[in-house]
Amino acid sequence: MFRLDGRVAVITGAASGIGAATARLFAEAGARVVLGWYPGDPHDVTPVAEAVTAAGGTAVAVEVDVSRAADVERLVRVALDELGGLDVVVANAGIARRVPSAELSDDDFRRLLDVDLIGVFRCFREAIPHMRAAGGGRLLATSSIAGAHYGWPDHVHYTSAKAGIVGLVRTLALDLARDGITVNAVAPGVVVTPQSSDPVNSLGPAALEAFAGAVPVGRNGRPEDIAAAFLYLASDEAAFLTGQTLIVDGGVSLQLV
C-alpha cells in the first residue's frame, strides 16, 4: 500500500522541513522527484537530493521562485523532459513574516500571498494540462491550522493565505474530478522545522518547547508526520478523497484552549 512506483512528483520548498521529508518518503515509496527550491533559501538542497538517491530514487533539483510564473513553468517542464511525466505536485513552498496588522502594507500583504497562496495555484495550473492528458494526477498543498482553523496574531497575511488554500482545493477538486485529478491539502499543526524555529517571524525554540506540552499527544509534529499524510494523499489508496484539508496536529484543534 501507499506506493508511488514509476511516478514523478514535483515538490516545492524541498530544501528543508516538510518538503525535504516528503521528498525522502516519496523516494522510499518508489517515486522520482523534482526538488523545487528557492535560491535565496539558506538551506542546501544537496543533502535532500542525496537522501532521495540513497533511498533508491531519482532527484532533480530546480531553482524556483513560485511567485514567478516562468519559474513554475520551467519547473514542470523539467519534470516532463528529464523524468518523463508528472503525476504528483506537492505545492509546499511558503514563507511566514511577523508584522502587526496595523503596520502591514499592501505590498507586504501581496508579496506573502504571491508565494503562499497564488504560488500554490501557479504550480497546480501549470500541472493541470499535463495531468489531464495523462488521465489523472494528484495536486497537493500545505495549508496550516493557523488560518484553516485558528488565528495567529501578527500573521494576518499568512493566515489569509493558508485559509485560502482550503477554498482553492475545494473548488479545483470539483473542476478536475472528471479528469481523474484529485486535489487536497494538509493543514499541519506546530511542526518543528527551520521556519517554525525562527524566533523573529515564527515561534522560535523556546515557544516551540512550551507549546509541546499543550499538544494532546505530548509532542510537536515532525516533518515526517506531514510527509506521511502527503504520501497517503498521493497514493492510489486516496483515489476517492478530494477537496479535503486534512488536519495533522496531534489533537490541538480538538481543544478549546
Is 70 exceeded by the pLDDT of residue 136?
A: yes
Q: What are phi and psi of 153, to 5 degrees?
A: -55, 140
Q: Where exactly are the structural domains of the chain?
A: 8-188+222-243
Average per-residue pLDDT in the chain? Answer: 96
CATH topology of domain 8-188+222-243: Rossmann fold (3.40.50)
Cβ atoms of residues 122 and 72 within 8 Å: yes
pLDDT in the model for residue 31: 97
- Position 201 scores a pLDDT of 86
What per-residue string of b and e applies to 131-144 under the rule 16 or more CB within 10 Å gives b? beeeeebbbbbbbb
Whether 164 has a pLDDT exceeding 70, the answer reads: yes
Question: Which pLDDT band, with edges at 50, 70 and 90, does 202 fall under?
Answer: confident
Q: Is residue 158 among the annotated active site residues?
A: yes
Q: What is the pLDDT of residue 257?
A: 61
**pTM of the full predicted structure?**
0.96
Q: Say yes or no to pLDDT of 256 above 80.
A: no
pLDDT in tens, 209-251: 999 999 999 999 999 999 999 999 999 999 999 999 999 999 9
- Res 77 pLDDT > 90: yes
User: If pLDDT is split at 50, 70 and 90, which confidence band does 42 have?
Assistant: confident
What are 60's strand-pairing partners? 34
Question: Would you state the cell numbers that stand for residue 122, as one nine-digit string?
Answer: 501557479
